[in-house]
Structure 1
Amino acid sequence: MHTGDWPSTIEDALAVQERLRGRVDLTDDCAELPPTVTGLDVAYGTSDEIAAAVVTLETAGLTVVEERTHRAKAVFPYEPGLFAFRELPPLLAALDQLDHQPDVLVCDGHGLAHPRRFGLACHLGVLTGRPAFGVGKTRFVGTHAAPEASRGSSAPLIDAGEEVGAVLRTQDGVKPVYVSAGHRIDLAHACRLTLALTPRYRLPETTRQADRLSRAALR
């Protein structure tokens, strides 16, 4: 799907989500510890400008392998639950600039933890065919108990009686993050990778690096 035929109305976007969500495959075929991880994030400027950033890190040492950015005007209105339609065009353009195919995509957002079970990580995974999952800073849907205070503790995120993600403590005593599978990876694996990406801070290093790069691209 290219931006030329990108949905421009809420009704069209909902129809696209409905059509594509059946293509989500949560059969886990992602390497247990993939050689690289690619983080994605966007920053918003004035007049609907978006700067997208993708950063690939070596999984073992979390050193930057390559990074790319793309600036563009938003082609879709601001609508909760449909943020992917604003953010995906520049993110896909930035991904296209990478020299190496990502082993797994880590989104600053959600996958199945979405009202229609098709958040950014699902959408990105389906369109690219790559394993993808989301790590959100805040809860979008569902309810949960508080995980224990120690790093690695988690609690199920439940929405309409369905487990759609995990509330994961990445550092002792800090606020948890919200992990959800997107495509070609299961939730337990996504949680293990999230912990591998958070050796010192609450948020994955993929998100931290992509956030830094996207903000710099706006300046």
Structure 2
Amino acid sequence: MLIEPPADEERLSLERAVAEAARARLAAGPRGSVDGDAIALRAILSGMSLSEKAAVRAVLGRLEAADGRPLIACGALSQVLAADRWGLAARPMSEADQALFAVRDGAARKTRALIDLSARPWWGRLLALPMLKVIAALPDDATGAPRALMVGTEAPGPTGDDRTFWVTDSAWPDARIVEALSQAGLAAEFLSGGGGLKLFVLTGYVQAEDIRLDGAPGGLTGVIGAAPVF
């Protein structure tokens, strides 16, 4: 004889509340800016445990994916990271250059692309494509180094806890570049390199015209965006 499982009205009530909250949040639509989203998310996550943060980010990520903005994932790692954060919304793409041009051409729809960091310095192309900016970096917790960068057409603003991405063609050793930036008042860390270019992470939100970058090592240099840290 089959036995009907006992009703659990308390949990059912909680799950209904989650469903109603999700429906209401979808109806409210996107907030309107990547930095505004980051500031709000940081306030929501404050004081949560790691497991609570993971659950909340999974829910909010899928709500974000439902707003209709196209998302591209370029590279095996980016596809995994995108699926973890936004579900199966991302369209896979094999070539970084193809992904960048898709973001540029999809500006009206706010298309974004998450692209693996690799030996091939695709991020150097952002120096020649100033309409594209790094707007996020995953993983985005303060304890780990980014392994994939998200590119969009919206210029990111400061959120109170950020990483800035800076490119140089300097042939100096990484440590010497870090030291030169330190003397200018910037905390830097080497992130990736290839093809004669190097990518550094600068602590905080650093604008492209920041005078501390005047005279920085290299002939071809520039800030290519910034990403919030949680």
TM > 0.5: no
Q: Which has the higher helix share?
A: 2
Q: Which has the higher contact order (CA 8 A, sep 6+)?
A: 1
TM range (shorter): under 0.3
TM-score (norm 2): 0.26
Q: Of the two, which has the highest radius of gyration? A: 2
TM-score (norm 1): 0.27
